[in-house]
Amino acid sequence: MVPKIRIVDVTNRDGEQTARIVLSKLQKTILNILLDQMGIFGSEVGFPLNPHEWNYLNANVELTRVHNDDGEPVIKNLRLEGWSRAVASDVEQALSRTGLTHLNLSISTSQQMLEWKFRGKFSQDDIINMMTDAVRAALEGGCTSVGINAEDASRTDMEFLKDFGLAGKEAGAQILRYCDTLGYDDPFTIAERMGELAREVQMPLETHCHNDLGLAVANSVAGAVATCDEGQDAYINTTVNGVGERAGNADLVSCILALRHSSGLSEKGYLDERIDTTKAYRLAQYVSTAFGVPIPINQPGVGANAFAHESGIHADGALKDRHNYELYAYEDLGRGQEKIERTGREILTGLHGGTSGLEYVYSHLDLAFRDREHAQEILKLVQYANLCNQAPLQEEELRFIYHHPEIARKLLTYTP
């Protein structure tokens, strides 16, 4: 069978670690639902060791069992993945509090990190022993799958990286994550290194690339393709709109477009066929609003100028046949719908709202209330959600609260 490249989006973990921005638990949940609807394989949902994540994580696990009106689970196929340090005690505590069944266990592997992060406290043997102990703790604690993350893999000695992967595989890990933590690699080095790892370790590999040199997408694609060329499945970590620490991570849509439309890769057939890019534009818009970070106008696929033509020669060519100046159609990204912008009276609902405004807003979503008690229940949740988001609620959030009030209440419950 042809090896496959699957996407594991890390917006809810690494993306949310971006300095100066944060998501509410409701927003993180809506993001998971949108990723699932787009056919993304997995979402690294957060940190199961942190108490403020417990209600959210368990609520999302519950959504894999709760059904919509169409009889399908709210989260149908998306694998919910937690992130933990590769420390057995952390793993045990995380699993005792959450219903997650996949963990990614992370530990630094480069000599730089061993000497200057761990201050020489751990040898390479110590690193492997800590990782394997954590893998076994995860499996014994109920995980059905485990990934091992080599932090700073791009600056790690290759022989040690192989030993790390082989030891993790023997302990029961299924995936080795190659972390280009500082964006240090280039497409040539990462392809060579990950190809060698896949060939000698014989296990699926995952790219986790940062964008400090502007190469995150190219590196992610090159590393994943090299892995598949060696006969192993590959996973690419992405974030929506490329958000992330420092200069960001590999952009979700850009990676998909590169694998689906670039000259040398589209024919390989490696990309997961379930991915539905018609959901991409709405996903990008949702995350942009939730984070309060505008989408750059030149962002591939979803930016304001991605399909804009002003030059006379380009406009003429695009009007004659879009293939002259567009590699893919805007409809493929879920674009082309007319926007309606209200310029008169606007009725909102939120922290200070009442039932009249609430009923008016929900009537425009074709949703009605059974009685006044039902409206009061939803109003209270909407008020708290507005307080948590610190922003007006988006349509997906309003619909979620209406259809799943009990789970929404869990997402809005915090215990300091």
Q: How many CB atoms lie within 10 A of CB 277?
A: 19
Q: For 27-72, write each residue's pLDDT tens digit.
A: 999 999 999 999 999 999 999 999 999 999 999 999 999 998 889 9
**For range 304-331, the mean pLDDT:** 95
Q: What pLDDT score does 376 carry? A: 98
Q: Which ranges in 172-292 belong to alpha helices (H)?
A: 187-201, 216-229, 252-261, 280-291
**For range 114-123, the mean pLDDT:** 96
Q: For 179-200, write each residue's pLDDT tens digit.
A: 999 999 999 999 999 999 999 9
Q: What pLDDT score does 7 carry? A: 98
What's the CA gap between 173 and 177, in Å, rounded? 11
Q: For 222-264, write each residue's pLDDT tens digit.
A: 999 999 999 999 999 999 999 999 999 999 999 999 999 999 9
CATH number of 5-290: 3.20.20.70
**Residue of 61, 107, 52 whose CA lies nearest to 81:** 61
**Residue of 8, 13, 18 whose CA lies nearest to 243:** 18
Which of the four pLDDT bands, split at 50, 70 and 90, describes residue 379? very high
Assess contact for 347 and 390: CB atoms under 8 A.
no
Residue 105: strand, helix, or coil? strand
Extended strands (E) in 1-85: 5-9, 42-46, 79-85
What is the residue extent of each domain of the chain? 5-290, 355-411
What's the CA gap between 232 and 228, in Å, rounded? 5
Average pLDDT, the chain: 97
CA dihedral 358, 399, 7, 141 (to 10 degrees): 100
Q: What pLDDT score does 88 carry? A: 98
pTM above 0.75, yes or no: yes
